[in-house]
Structure 1
Amino acid sequence: MSGFFYYLTAFALVLGILVVIHEFGHYLAARWAGVKVLRFSVGFGRPIWLRRWGEDGTEWVIAAFPLGGYVKMLDEREGEVAAKELHRSFNRQPVRWRMVIVAAGPAANFALAVLIYWGLFWHGTEEFKPILGNSAIASPAAAAGLQDGEQVLRVGGEKVQTWQEMRWLLLQRAAEQDQIDLEVINAANEIAIRRLDVSSVRRSGWQGDALEQLGFALYHPRLPPVLGKVNVNSAAEAAGLRSGDEILSIDEQAIDSWAKVVRVVRQSPAKTLRIEVLRDGAHLEMSVTPVAVDERGSTIGRIGAAASDHSQARAALMITVSYGPWPAFQKAVGETWDKSVFTLLMIGKMVTGEVSWRNISGPVTIADYAGQSARLGMDYYLKFLALVSISLGVLNLLPIPILDGGHLLYYLVEIIKRGPVSERAMEIGQQIGLTLLIMLMAFAFYNDINRLLFSG
């Protein structure tokens, strides 16, 4: 599958799952409350697939414009309702039931995230240990004295086991603090405290990768430039390279690590390279032409060969994290809660100008991340799905008319004033909400275009 269609498929699957889950939350709550559901639609606009199913003859629809969906319920404000079905009309329900039905969509998104995290934590996931590579020159990490090969044990006093846990805690702390203490241990088992200045993340408006801004890099062990697996029908096989060959030089440039092999090959798409190898004590010379492939919009070279078995190095870098059923569920709930609060905090800081609006992502960027996470493996793809589900749940609960949170705001006002909000007020609110939503989408598409044209 080509890169474009792979990323498109990964994005479509994420979008489809999230829309179905969100709308199914509304649907189940409506059925529970006794409200008649007329249509369950994935997408907007003209139906391209329609079936009627259930005792109420509910229309199940896939529509032409896929960015979203809706559940249409029996409602006197949208059409004439037969007298015998008035009790099943949405607008006739007590306000508490209307609030339950509206809130059930975002709640379903949060429930999906909890379910995904629960399964991952229970099953166990293999992740990188928080072992640091060489810090970028003149970066906060370098200024803190963080060294190549040091492993982070605690962030702000809280224990971490994986690179992602370290990353997440740094992001949380950086939202409120200027300095964070990191407890690290080196290869000689010497423990030290490094004080990291994270104020630059906030000063930048949270643009870009926070860890990259701080100068963090993942540790890469030094692997010898020895070939392991050579793929069938690859450029490496065509050149005569074999498993066990040690690469001594490429175009007369001395090679002392596998990382250097990868770097030279990636930088040489469709360019013939002269390689000197050591095989069974004999020096051999051969030519190989890396195949040009697309990677996230850039053309790189590949020869179809991997490094020799580095299982020991991998074992030293990776850790499998798993929990029992109940601890896994508790951690899943905590993870969902923490990310929901952090998302809300970032939205608030965006409104006050502390976080750049350039951080808003549109469908192109989300599709890119979906494809990247899918290529990394099912664990990463599911985590991405959970994160986007949380973001969708939080976004829908914002008190903006046209979103679920806006409707909940109307119902709260109805409870306080002991009467429904006027049709005129709701109409004005809908116009404001639609305007805000269009502006948000415009920002998202603008940022997508900027990333496409000017990133990298």
Structure 2
Amino acid sequence: MNFLTEIVAFVVAIGVLVVVHEFGHYSVARMCGVKVLRFSVGFGKPLVRWVSKKTGVEWTIAALPLGGYVKMLDEREIDPESGQSIPPEDLPRAFNQQNVAKRIAIVAAGPIANFLLAIVLFSAVFAGGVTEPSAILSAPAPDTLAARAGFEGGETIVSIRDASGGDTHPIRSWSDLRWKILDASFDHRRIVLTAKTHDGTYDFPVSVAGINDADSEQDFMDTLGFTPGGGTLTVAGVEAGSAAQKAGLAPGDKLRAIDGRTVDNATSFIDYVKAHAGKPVTLTIDRAGKTRSVTLTPDLKHDAATGKEVGRIGAALGNQLPTVQVRYGPIESLRLGVNRTWDISMYSLRMFGRMIVGEASLKNLSGPVTIADYAGKSARLGPAAFVSFLALVSISLGVLNLLPIPVLDGGHLLYYLVEAVTGKAVSDRWQLVLQRAGLVCIVALSMIALFNDLARLIRF
């Protein structure tokens, strides 16, 4: 059932994004007077085909649903059946006969449509309301940025501002906090987090030095020591013969502490257990309203993700974090939708730039397998999560297509910008050479993304 959900969610996601992208090209081309011959969703052999009597456009749904295209009239193309070029009366409606401004508008319309879709989707999520984890911190690991800043765990972040001055921005949820810290990290800014504690409200100066670990696949917030807390960790199941079973742990037990450290987050608990393989640890648990202590020794197990030997107790955990309902008015939702789309676009460009110069790992590239996996997961989480996923992938598609790589929209835009500046079109010979180079780049990126997908699939 999960596999079927992933396939359906993936097809729906790709179908929506491709149609929106290509409709951007199509609509602007029509407005500019260019004759459109075919609008295809997917590549390869057509499965469904019909011709509009009004416009004469051939609409096609093809077998390979990993893209699409809009074919426009172009005098440089020869009709394979007649061997002739386009009729003279259709020449003014050929794409290559349009002035450079119209060609730029037509090519840019696809990525712009993806950005507009993301704005609409994010705005809808903000306006409709979404339940998110509260911005409550778990106890940070020693020597992390959060620990050095003075956080001990249990603080609720309420606002953020630049240490150098400027406006104070409220923090309404964990997602809000994550995006604000990510933005500061890329700009290497010092920030001040204002947090409520059990005895008052305090400011915590934080110097976010940036995400420079090129090979780390760990979430950057975990790396910095910021993990959501304030929740309840419950034993959901116990493996037969495991350390947890031998110690007497049972489903329904609530974990309160480990070696005296408060437990309110699954990640920090698991990390602690991993680091104490073969060493006795004491758990404070709540069973049926009564508190008791249990001592157990984590078993030494091989971790396929890291290749290291780590500790495991053999218990499945349920982590119930405190949540908050985040909802905004229509105008504020639209503003936040624009801001979120801009922030993610800039983040994507910066990350791609870091990958080029070696400051970020190529493991960050994902292909269709990972997209399908996240499509299925977000669909199971509910409409808001799936809509947010659609917006995120739509932005990624828009950014990718604007990269100045021949065969992509950005490569064509580069040709037209050169033509606008020099007054001369890039020669067909140079376009052919650059197209081949661009194709090599795309194939290489696709192979890396597919390799990453398979590596994740095999690992997990």
TM-score class normalised by the smaller sequence: 0.7 to 0.9
2:365 corresponds to which of 341, 360, 363: 360
Identity %: 43
**Residue of structure 2 in register with 1:16 after alignment:** 15
- Pairwise CA distance, 1:383: 1.0
How is 1:179-328 mapped onto 2 (pairs within 5 angstroms)?
Answer: 180-188=191-199, 190-196=200-206, 198-199=208-209, 201-204=211-214, 207-222=217-232, 253=248, 257-258=253-254, 317-328=322-333
- 1:223 offset after TM fit, Å? 7.4
Task: Give a deviation string over 1:331-373, Cα, whole Å, max 9, x none.
Answer: 2112211221221122122222212111111111122222222
Residues 1:6 and 2:5 aligned together: yes
1:419–1:220 distance in 2 versus 1, CA, 3 Å? same
Opposite residue 217 of structure 1, the aligned amino acid is T
1:401–1:407 CA contact under 8 A, matched in 2: yes
Q: Mark the runs of 5 or more structure 2 residues left unpaired by the alignment.
A: 79-84, 163-168, 238-243, 257-265, 267-286, 290-313
- Find out whether 1:38 has 2:37 as its counterpart: yes
Structure 1 stretch displaced more, 152-161 or 199-208: 199-208
CA displacement at 1:25 relative to structure 2 = 0.5
Is 2:44–2:62's contact at 8 Å kept on the other side of the alignment?
Answer: yes
Question: In structure 1, how many angstroms separate the alpha carbons of the residues matched to 2:113 and 2:234?
Answer: 49
Counterpart of 2:52 in structure 1 is 53
What do residues 302-332 of structure 1 show as CA deviations (whole Å, max 9, x unaligned)?
99xx99xxxxx97xx3222222222221221
Structure 2 CA distance for aligned equivalents of residues 162 and 140 of structure 1: 20
Distance 2:350 2:11 in 1: 28
Verify the 8 A CA contact 2:118 2:394 in the aligned structure 1: yes
TM-score w.r.t. the length of structure 2 is 0.78
Selected match of 1:164 from 155, 167, 175: 175
Other-structure match for 2:452: 447
Partner Cα distance (2:144, 2:343) in 1: 28
Unaligned residue ranges in structure 1 (runs of 5+): 228-234, 236-248, 264-276, 280-299, 308-312
Q: TM-score, normalised by structure 1?
A: 0.78
Equivalence for 1:231: none
1:105 corresponds in structure 2 to: 110
The match for 1:143 among 126, 144, 148 is 148
SS for the counterpart of 1:49 is: strand
Aligned-partner Cα distance in 2 for 1:25–1:259: 53
Structure 2 SS opposite 1:203: coil
Instruction: Give the match for residue 282 of structure 1.
Output: none
Match of 1:135, SS?
coil
Deviation of 1:392 (Å): 0.9
Asked if 1 retains the 8 angstrom alpha-carbon contact of 2:234 and 2:254, the reply is yes
Cα distance, 1:103 vs structure 2 = 0.6
CA contact (8 A) 1:175 1:202 kept: no
Residues matched between the structures, number:
395
Comparing 69-78 with 123-132, greater Cα deviation is found at: 123-132
Q: Which residue of 1 aligns with 2:355?
A: 350
Q: Secondary structure at the match of 1:365?
A: helix
Q: What per-residue deviation string (whole Å, max 9, x for no partner) do you get for residues 201-240 of structure 1?
A: 3234564311122233222434789x9xxxxxxx9xxxxx
- 3-state DSSP class of the match of 2:51? strand
Equivalent residue for 1:155? 160
Q: Distance in 1 between matches of 2:400 and 2:15?
A: 17
- Check the 8 A contact 1:343/1:391 in 2, yes or no: yes
Q: Partners of 2:148 and 2:223 in 1: how far apart?
A: 13
2:412 matches 1:407: yes
Shift of the 12–187 alpha-carbon distance from structure 1 to 2, 3 Å rule, reads farther
